[in-house]
Structure 1
Amino acid sequence: MNPALRDEILAILAGANDMNIATVRSDGYPHATTVSYANDGLILYFGCAGVSQKARNLARNDKVSLTINLPYTDWGEIRGVSMGGRAARISEPREIEQAAQFLARKFPRGVAEYASDGMPGIAFFRVMPEVISVLDYRKGFGHTDLVRDHGDP
């Protein structure tokens, strides 16, 4: 991947707190929700109730689409990413702890009580992007750069 483009993706991930994630419902319709996330490079982590619609959807179909956008007040400053990838529920205790630590570092107030592996009912997920589209209106209205499978754009 182009290093400048990777740096732009990482800057967007660092500058935002929430992502809109779409999963596939059992009836085939998309189910879009907003969740807070943390990242380790391009790998995203989030938690949700283990009995939530999102968790049930991911148990059936691991495909996700998501968007992350930086705040803006002028359309000429819109920056964000759109990703397609696979989400996996984390079950290994060490990785659960790692995901919880990423989330607690990003959200130090209040998240610690939810981000511990001792918190019943919380499921942690890892999202591995396969396709990333970087939206940057500073380069022109609707400008995007596409990255596939972490390869060159």
Structure 2
Amino acid sequence: MDDAAERARAYLAGHRVMTLATSGPEGVWAAAVFYVNDGWQLYFLSAGHTRHARNMAASPRVAATIQEDYADWVEIKGIQLEGTVRLLEGGARAFAIVHYAQKFPFVRRPEATIETALARVNWYCLTPDKLYLVDNSRGFGQRDEIDLAK
């Protein structure tokens, strides 16, 4: 039996970069960020002075995509989602950092520049309320809406 939710979870776990679309006082913006997921929750970091961080502070509703750079339409697979971002503090921030470091070991390097940078950045959690799995290998334009309650 085919389970689109399981395929979507596997896709999230197997990829590293999402393109985050935000909107705020300066208009719409898109930025690529590394993420780690815990279930459907997507954790990422960003410096507070960036345009997308300023936009998220003004309006926490965002959209995002996760995909590879395919050469043929029939190969296209990916995730499209929309949801709400929240700034993390305390235990939630610590949780995100631990999980992020498991996926991206380079953040544990003993270089002062990385440690200093990680101490200054904001950590965020994107909670999707709509998520779609696109898979053109199953038919052109194939898109499954995922029930996030599962």
Checking the alignment, whether the CA contact within 8 Å between 2:21 and 2:31 is kept in structure 1 is yes
TM-score normalised by the chain length of structure 2: 0.86
Instruction: Give the aligned partner of residue 26 of structure 1.
Output: 25
Q: CA RMSD in A?
A: 2.4
Instruction: Quote the Cα distance in structure 2 between the aligned partners of 1:120 and 1:72.
Output: 36
Aligned pair partner of 1:103 in 57, 82, 100: 100
- Asked whether 1:126 is paired with 2:125, we answer yes
Task: Specify the SS of the correspondent of 1:86.
Answer: strand
Aligned to 1:112: 108
Which amino acid in 2 is paired with 1:107? F
Ranges in structure 1 where 5+ consecutive residues have no aligned partner = none
Structure with the larger helix share:
2
- Cα separation, 2, equivalents of 1:47 and 1:19: 12
Work out the CA distance in 1 between the residues paired with 2:24 and 2:58. 9
Structure 1 residues 119 and 145, CA gap change in structure 2 (3 angstroms): closer
% of aligned pairs identical?
30
The number of aligned residues is 147
- Name the CA distance, whole Å, in 2 between partners of 1:117 and 1:125: 18
Per the normalisation by structure 1, the TM-score is 0.85
In the alignment, the residues of structure 2 paired with residue 118 and residue 67 of structure 1 have an alpha-carbon distance, to the nearest angstrom, of: 26
Runs of at least 5 residues in structure 2 that lack an aligned partner in the other structure = none
2-side partners of 1:116 and 1:142: how far apart?
Answer: 43
1:70-121 deviations in whole A, cap 9, x for unaligned? 4544432221110000000012x21111101111111112x23688699442
**Aligned letter for 1:125?**
Y
